[in-house]
Amino acid sequence: MSLLLRALYFFGCGFSVWWLSPYLAGTVEPWDAKYSYYSGFLFIFALPGGILRHPNISAVAVISWLGCSLGQIVSLFLLPGLDRSWWMLGAIRMMGGSLIAVVGIIAGYYIGNRIFRDRHKNQ
């Protein structure tokens, strides 16, 4: 998977965490959910980005963080019902929260190494 496709995937993940929040978490803002919807969503959807390995994990981590952050910031302006008066503070919070996606990428990368390494051993 190319870096551009990964960036688009993570942009979609960042946007989706906000777009789906009223339906999946019952709150307009995902971090207001009663359970760890926000961090869980970002972590789970970052795993495939790491499992589908790329030779440069550092570039993948940066791309995933930027894509996820931008997706969330764009959602702040496009989705109805959100309070935009504190958007700068929200953007900083989202950029910090997007680091959870980087943790998911790294976890997925190690899972992918395990899967593909075991496959090559058995052949």
- Residue 84 has a pLDDT of 79
Helix 87-97 / helix 99-122 crossing angle, nearest 10 deg: 20
- Residue 107 has a pLDDT of 92
- Residue 83 has a pLDDT of 78
- Residue 61 has a pLDDT of 86
- In whole angstroms, how far apart are CA 97 and each of 2, 68, 82? 24, 9, 18
Question: 64-73: per-residue pLDDT in tens?
Answer: 889 899 998 8
Weakly modelled stretches of the chain, pLDDT under 50: none
Domain ranges of the chain: 3-107
pTM value is: 0.82
